[in-house]
């Protein structure tokens, strides 16, 4: 809490005022009190014109991972990188509120997107009902029932980002059905975050290619994870990995 200068009169040197014996009507401030006064005035006037603004921290609060649900949150660099890519893809749209994003089983990405741009339209599809706190932007999702979703969500999303909870063939196949349900045929950007072991299946099921960027998790998982897309990201995301 900032200290306040009080209006009570100061009458002796112990309180920071030196009294001139020749002129008691004109007290002068001691060097310590003068320095405190200058600091106070500087705080009131704000930072100097040439001072650089402090960088705003964008920490995102998340619920605790539940490993029983195969939940492993991205580390901050991964979440920010993917969120910035989604925001970049949405920029050509005249209104980001009309540009719709679906996040399948990736609540970390949802939280970072909303932190960076509260107005962007994002729908989180997630099994964990703790995320019902997001209100209408939460949709309960069980990958075992890949198309049991509200009809208004069909072919409604410009970007679909998916992070299947398991690295099995069955899980990816069913999540692929959900992606097909949500995306606009031939128009939507698709991003898939999953293990390297799914490389061939991702190419076979959705014609996705791996990018140079390597996703990481806060829990330091031993599996190698990759980011696959259906579009060429150019210099972003480390670019498409060159085929042999």
> What is the reported pLDDT for 86?
97
Decide: helix, strand or coil at residue 194.
strand
Query: How many CA atoms within 13 Å lie on the side-chain side of 82?
Result: 36
Q: Is the pLDDT reported for residue 227 higher than 90?
A: yes
CA atoms of 88 and 235, how far apart (whole Å): 12
How many separate helices (H) and strands (E) can be counted in the chain? Answer: 5, 9
CA atoms of 131 and 183, how far apart (whole Å): 23
Q: Which residue has the tokens 């259906």?
A: 230
> What is the reported pLDDT for 180?
98
pLDDT greater at residue 188 or residue 31: 188
> What is the reported pLDDT for 162?
98
Largest Cα–Cα distance in the chain? 96
* Residue 23: exposure state from Cβ atoms within 10 A (0-12, 13-18, ≥19): exposed
Q: Is the pLDDT reported for residue 130 higher than 70?
A: yes
**Is residue 59 very low, low, confident or very high in pLDDT (cuts 50, 70, 90)?**
low
CA atoms of 93 and 99, how far apart (whole Å): 7
Query: How many CA atoms within 13 Å lie on the side-chain side of 91?
Result: 7
CA atoms of 12 and 14, how far apart (whole Å): 6
Name the nearest CA neighbour of 87 among 120, 134, 124, 125: 120
**Is residue 195 very low, low, confident or very high in pLDDT (cuts 50, 70, 90)?**
very high
> What is the reported pLDDT for 42?
52
49 to 38, 46, 53, 56: CA distances (angstroms): 17, 9, 10, 18
- Torsion over CA of 229, 234, 237 and 243, rounded to 10 degrees? 60
Q: pLDDT per residue over 63-78, tens digit each? A: 676 656 666 788 999 9
Q: Is the pLDDT reported for residue 231 higher than 90?
A: yes
The mean-pLDDT minimum among 169-173, 180-184, 239-243 falls in: 239-243
Share above pLDDT 90 across residues of the chain, in percent, rounded to a whole number: 62
């Amino acid at each position: 809490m900032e200290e306040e200068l009080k209006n009570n009169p100061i009458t002796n040197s112990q309180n920071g005022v030196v009294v001139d014996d020749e002129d008691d009507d004109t007290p002068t401030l001691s060097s310590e009190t003068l320095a405190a006064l200058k600091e106070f005035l500087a705080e009131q006037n704000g930072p100097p014109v040439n001072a650089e603004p402090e960088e705003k921290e964008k920490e995102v609060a998340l619920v605790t991972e539940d490993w029983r649900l195969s939940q492993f949150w991205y580390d901050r660099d991964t979440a920010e990188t993917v969120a910035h890519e989604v925001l970049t893809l949405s920029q050509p749209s005249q209104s980001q509120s009309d540009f719709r994003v679906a996040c399948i089983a990736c609540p970390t990405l949802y939280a970072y997107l909303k932190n960076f741009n509260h107005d962007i339209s994002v729908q989180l599809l997630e099994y964990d009902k703790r995320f019902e706190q997001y209100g209408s932007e939460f949709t309960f999702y069980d990958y075992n029932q890949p198309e049991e979703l509200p009809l208004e969500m069909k072919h409604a999303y410009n970007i679909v980002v998916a992070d299947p909870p398991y690295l099995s063939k069955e899980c990816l196949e069913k999540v692929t059905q959900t992606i097909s349900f949500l995306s606009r045929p031939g128009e939507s950007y698709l991003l898939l975050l999953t293990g390297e072991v799914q490389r061939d299946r991702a190419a076979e099921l959705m014609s996705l290619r791996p990018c140079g960027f390597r996703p990481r998790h806060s829990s330091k998982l031993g599996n190698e994870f990759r980011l696959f897309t259906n579009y060429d990201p150019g210099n972003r995301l480390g670019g498409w990995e060159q085929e042999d």
